[in-house]
């Protein structure tokens, strides 16, 4: 039995029993993956998959039992590799981060610049996506950390730690009637077509709930996942932009007005998250503390041990800024 065979087994299951997709993910050939699965089954003396012709249709009971052990073995092998690298080359390696476009483009640049200054030999892999895409990345164990702003319920198997508070802002052109609206109201905003995130009106978001609770049904002019794209279309006159206020940059956005919506629009949190069994290298802990000084290595390790959101919230209440409590 080889670890690579177990890796093939796990990846096939992750890819919904699609051997071709698993092979592409592992940078190998579909016939090679199928051959190794057959060899593994021959060695173990059991079939791991139910088949219809050459197609895998389900795991057998034995396959489910072997899969659970295989995942643990691969996790342990990965931990050993990471642990020994931390001894052999503590300042070298990779840092994989999955995050939203807004965090990648407007919040993380100064943090990552300082991290790069401290660890110039650590390659940073920055992946961007919607909250649902980030959840998929976490499920596939593609990255060290997730940095997200969405509902923590999307990530039930991760350790989530609050980093900072965030809130929506109202973006519009300087000559827009909302600029002089006194007071600014949700009803006034809803009178204009909106430009906002593609996930902001998807049936479960706090922003959509805010309008619905007020009996308002605004018209969406354009949605996208990238804040830079949204700002461009606000400039083109598509409508009023509702997006993270942190994305406003005074110099670059001097042709836009940012209106403070106060309590009108929902506020949320930025979270950093990781898989509870993932070994975090020393520089990953340093990055987390750089991102959020209240998240020291001791706090991160204690949160990993606690696991439960309520227990983590009680822990964070003893260390975090008041805005997060």
- Beta bridge partners, 167, equal 267
Q: If the chain, 325 residues long, is cut into consecutive pieces of 10 residues, what is the mean pLDDT of each piece?
A: 90 91 89 92 93 91 93 83 81 92 92 97 92 77 84 84 92 95 93 93 85 94 93 96 93 94 89 90 96 94 90 86 60
Are residues 251 and 217 in contact, defined by beta-carbon separation less than 8 angstroms?
Answer: no
Q: Give the whole-angstrom CA distance, residue 255 versus residue 134.
A: 32
Strands (E) located in the chain: 49-52, 55-59, 93-99, 122-128, 145-148, 159-172, 194-197, 220-224, 240-244, 257-259, 267-274
**Residue 297 is assigned to a structural domain of this protein:** no
**Residue 28 is assigned to a structural domain of this protein:** yes
Structural domain harbouring 34: 3-87
Burial class (CB in 10 A: 0-12, 13-18, 19+), 168: buried
**Residue 20 is assigned to a structural domain of this protein:** yes
Q: Output the pLDDT for position 262.
A: 86
**Residue 31 is assigned to a structural domain of this protein:** yes
**Residue 44 is assigned to a structural domain of this protein:** yes
Buried b (16+ CB within 10 A) or exposed e, 239-274: bbbbbbbbbbeeeeeeebbbbebeebbbebbbbbbb
Which one, of 265, 248, 226, lies nearest residue 99 by Cα?
A: 226
Which one, of 110, 150, 113, 111, lies nearest residue 129 by Cα?
A: 150
Q: Output the pLDDT for position 140.
A: 67
Q: Give the whole-angstrom CA distance, residue 146 versus residue 160.
A: 9
- Provide the domain count of the chain: 1
CATH number at residue 80: 1.10.10.10
**Residue 258 is assigned to a structural domain of this protein:** no
What one-character DSSP code corresponds to residue 246? G
Q: Give the whole-angstrom CA distance, residue 63 versus residue 47.
A: 7
What one-character DSSP code corresponds to residue 99? E
**Residue 48 is assigned to a structural domain of this protein:** yes
- SS3 category, 274: strand
Could you give the count of Cα atoms lying within 13 Å of 28 in the half-sphere of its Cβ? 17
**Residue 22 is assigned to a structural domain of this protein:** yes
Q: Output the pLDDT for position 88.
A: 78
Torsion region of 307: left, alpha or beta (phi above 0 gives left; psi -120 to 50 gives alpha): left
């Amino acid at each position: 039995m080889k670890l690579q065979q177990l890796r093939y087994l796990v990846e096939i299951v992750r890819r919904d029993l699609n051997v071709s997709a698993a092979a592409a993910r592992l940078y190998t050939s579909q016939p090679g993956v199928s051959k190794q699965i057959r060899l593994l089954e021959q060695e173990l003396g059991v079939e791991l998959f139910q088949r219809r012709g050459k197609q895998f249709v389900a795991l057998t009971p034995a396959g489910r039992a072997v899969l659970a052990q295989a995942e643990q073995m691969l996790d342990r092998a990965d931990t050993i590799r990471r642990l020994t690298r931390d001894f052999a080359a503590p300042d070298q390696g990779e840092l994989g981060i999955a995050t939203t476009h807004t965090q990648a483009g407007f919040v993380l640049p100064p943090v990552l610049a300082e991290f790069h200054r401290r660890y110039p030999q650590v390659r940073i892999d920055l992946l961007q996506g919607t909250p649902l895409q980030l959840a998929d990345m976490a499920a596939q164990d593609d990255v060290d950390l997730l940095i997200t702003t969405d509902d923590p319920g999307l990530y039930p198997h991760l350790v989530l730690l609050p980093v900072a508070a965030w809130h929506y802002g109202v973006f519009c052109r300087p000559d827009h009637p909302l600029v002089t609206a006194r007071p600014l109201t949700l009803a006034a905003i809803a009178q204009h077509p909106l430009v906002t995130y593609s996930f902001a009106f998807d049936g479960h978001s706090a922003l959509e709930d805010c309008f619905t609770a007020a009996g308002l049904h605004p018209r969406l002019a354009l949605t996208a996942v990238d804040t830079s794209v949204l700002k461009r279309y606000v400039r083109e006159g598509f409508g009023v932009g509702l997006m993270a206020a942190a994305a406003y940059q005074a110099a670059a956005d001097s042709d836009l007005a940012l209106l403070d919506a106060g309590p009108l629009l929902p506020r949320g949190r930025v979270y950093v998250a990781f898989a509870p069994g993932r070994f975090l290298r020393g520089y990953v802990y340093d990055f987390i503390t750089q991102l959020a000084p209240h998240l020291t290595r001791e706090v991160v390790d204690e949160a990993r041990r606690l696991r439960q959101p309520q227990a983590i919230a009680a822990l964070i209440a003893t260390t975090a800024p008041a805005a997060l409590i």
